[in-house]
A and B are shown apart, each in its own frame.
Chain A
Amino acid sequence: MDTTKQVPGLLAASIGRKIVMGITGLFLCTFLIAHLSGNLLLLKPLFDPNDGGKAFNEYAEFMSKSPLVRIPEILMFIGFIVHIGLAAKLTSQNRNARPQGYVFQANDGKTSIFSKYMGVTGSIVLIFLLIHLYSFFIKHRIIGTEETMYDTVKIAFSNPIYVIFYVVAQILLALHLNHGFQSGFQSLGLKKNPKWNALINKTGLWFSILIPLGFAIIPIIMYIQSIA
């Protein structure tokens, strides 16, 4: 066998790119858990009338000031950039791999539907992320404002259009994760055992429902509070 072939860099081979796609995708899933846990503090005033957004503001303050948070934050930005960059590369390669399609389009009815729309669901999540970053992160961390983070959120979520947009984006995130979560494990070569595969699939299904639901419920509740 030809042993002169050098080990290509991870990103030089298709499988390597898929592996990095899986790593970044699953890493972003851990970011979603951390982000959601923080966001849930927005609901604390519901249970503790004296809170008035204090818990959330303290959390936001900690996130923006603590040097410990910088490292995961930078990793997250890198994670997003790599994930999106590879998504574009893989999707364009995939298009080129079949220049001429079939006249008769059929569906075998057994395959994962959302896997076919990862580029679409991902792109809409990206648009959401950019607007989302602009309304909260850029406003506070880059431009700077006198408002507390809780007030900014409260104002944003009293706007029904923003709330609808936020909820729709969460639905698309759910579809992205519905395929993505278990797909990430497969890309990493971790779905080799039927018992574990079933567990990964089930966890992925619940993850894709519960996390976006958790995110979506916050603006809905805050909007209802704002009109009440």
Chain B
Amino acid sequence: MRTMKLTLHIWRQENRNAQGRMETYLLDGVNEHMSFLEMLDVLNEKLIKEGKDPVAFDHDCREGICGSCGMVINGRAHGPWYRTTTCQLHMREFKDGDEIYIEPFRAAAFPVIKDLVVDRSAFDRIIQAGGYISVNTGGVPDANTIRIGKETAEQAFAAATCIGCGACVATCKNASAMLFVSAKIAHLGLLPQGQPERMQRVLNMIAQMDKEGFGNCTNTGACEVECPKGISLVNIARMNSDFLMAQLK
């Protein structure tokens, strides 16, 4: 088993209003089988033993499905691996003596709460603006009571895999949330259950997205590259054409 000594440069910020700064920590004996978050746990245990304030970071499932563990590692949202959340990134990616820069997601709409933890409630407000259907769907329906073609089902499912992590915003040079919003719009807009409110949904969610202060898409495609779930830019095209339809109606 390989172990390594790392130099970590981590963004430290006491609270929303405090002035943050990068701080440097040396961490020895990091084992290659650790996940990136486990490496941070080890650092925090060390800091606590030294009577210092541990590094605050978000995490929950640690299995790549909740989307909590957002941070930017060496300039890449969720680190250098494609289609991977930070909790699924493992230390075998790094080697002895490496320097690692760890920063919070940066966007005006995602203010830093503490260290690496940012406030992503802007996403919740966008969902509240229209990312749902307004009927009671009851229990789990029997299979095939509503018939949906295979291709449509697959496209809707692919859009629905968005875990709301915000890596798209963190990566986008314009801090645009359009990949996230389009995934939520497309997931419902492709299915029959989403049709009655389809036009209103697009208008409401986009209005909320604008209100939160996210930037505009330049069709650069960085979001698609960094998205841990591989959400496709096709969803942005779907959102834009639905928005145009809503305008013309």
Within the complex, the shortest CB–CB distance from B11 to chain A, in Å, comes to 8
Note all chain B residues with C-beta closer than 8 A to A14: 178, 206, 209-210, 214, 216
Note all chain B residues with C-beta closer than 8 A to A108: 76, 171, 222, 225-226
Q: Tell me whether B129 is interfacial, beta carbon within 8 Å.
A: yes
Give the docked Cα–Cα distance between A179 and B173 (Å).
15
Whether A94 contacts B216 in the complex (CB less than 8 A), given A13-B206, A106-B76, A111-B225, comes out as: yes
Q: Tell me whether B204 is interfacial, beta carbon within 8 Å.
A: yes
Taking CB atoms and an 8 Å cut-off, the chain B residues in 228-249 that contact chain A are 233-234, 236-244, 246-247, 249
Taking CB atoms and an 8 Å cut-off, the chain B residues in 199-218 that contact chain A are 200-201, 203-204, 206-207, 209-210, 213-218
Give the docked Cα–Cα distance between A115 and B234 (Å).
17
Which residue from B9, B197, B220, B234 sits with its C-beta under 8 Å from A111?
B220
> Could you tell me if A189 and B244 are in contact, using CB atoms closer than 8 angstroms?
yes
Note all chain A residues with C-beta closer than 8 A to B207: 5, 8, 13
> Could you tell me if B210 and A189 are in contact, using CB atoms closer than 8 angstroms?
no
> Could you tell me if B106 and A189 are in contact, using CB atoms closer than 8 angstroms?
no
- Per-residue CB contact flags for chain A residues 1-34 toward chain B (1 = under 8 Å, else 0) read 1110101101001111111000000000000000
Give the docked Cα–Cα distance between A191 and B241 (Å).
10
Whether A188 contacts B240 in the complex (CB less than 8 A), given A102-B72, A103-B9, comes out as: yes
Note all chain B residues with C-beta closer than 8 A to A190: 237, 241
> Could you tell me if A94 and B206 are in contact, using CB atoms closer than 8 angstroms?
no
Which residue from A1, A17, A101, A103 sits with its C-beta under 8 Å from B22?
A103
> Could you tell me if A186 and B244 are in contact, using CB atoms closer than 8 angstroms?
no
Within the complex, the shortest CB–CB distance from A196 to chain B, in Å, comes to 10
Give the docked Cα–Cα distance between A179 and B247 (Å).
27
Among B209, B216, B217, residue most surrounded by chain A Cβ atoms (within 10 Å): B216
Q: Tell me whether B130 is interfacial, beta carbon within 8 Å.
A: yes
Mostly helix, strand, loop or mixed at chain A's interface?
loop
> Could you tell me if A2 and B241 are in contact, using CB atoms closer than 8 angstroms?
no
Among A1, A10, A115, A190, residue most surrounded by chain B Cβ atoms (within 10 Å): A1
Q: Tell me whether A36 is interfacial, beta carbon within 8 Å.
A: no
Within the complex, the shortest CB–CB distance from B209 to chain A, in Å, comes to 7
Identity of the chain B residue whose Cβ is nearest the Cβ of A106 in the assembled complex: B75
Within the complex, the shortest CB–CB distance from A18 to chain B, in Å, comes to 6
Identity of the chain A residue whose Cβ is nearest the Cβ of B238 in the assembled complex: A192
Give the docked Cα–Cα distance between A202 and B66 (Å).
38
Give the docked Cα–Cα distance between A116 and B171 (Å).
13
Q: Tell me whether A99 is interfacial, beta carbon within 8 Å.
A: yes
Note all chain A residues with C-beta closer than 8 A to B246: 7
Whether A15 contacts B218 in the complex (CB less than 8 A), given A98-B174, A103-B103, A108-B226, comes out as: no
Q: Tell me whether A96 is interfacial, beta carbon within 8 Å.
A: yes
Whether A115 contacts B106 in the complex (CB less than 8 A), given A5-B204, A7-B246, A189-B240, comes out as: no
Within the complex, the shortest CB–CB distance from B163 to chain A, in Å, comes to 19
Within the complex, the shortest CB–CB distance from A108 to chain B, in Å, comes to 5
Q: Tell me whether B89 is interfacial, beta carbon within 8 Å.
A: no
- Residues of B near any A CB (own CB < 8 A): 9, 11, 22, 72, 74-76, 101, 103, 106-109, 129-130, 132, 134, 171, 173-176, 178, 197, 200-201, 203-204, 206-207, 209-210, 213-222, 225-226, 233-234, 236-244, 246-247, 249
- What are 6 A-B contacts defined by CB distance under 8 Å? A2-B130, A15-B240, A103-B22, A104-B9, A108-B76, A186-B237
**Inter-chain pairs besides A104-B75, A104-B101, 13 sampled, C-beta below 8 Å:** A7-B246, A98-B106, A99-B108, A102-B75, A104-B72, A108-B222, A110-B221, A112-B219, A112-B221, A116-B173, A182-B219, A188-B241, A189-B240
Top 4 nearest A-B pairs by Cβ distance?
Answer: A106-B75, A189-B241, A97-B215, A189-B240
- Residues of A near any B CB (own CB < 8 A): 1-3, 5, 7-8, 10, 13-19, 90, 93-94, 96-108, 110-112, 115-116, 118, 179, 182-183, 186-192
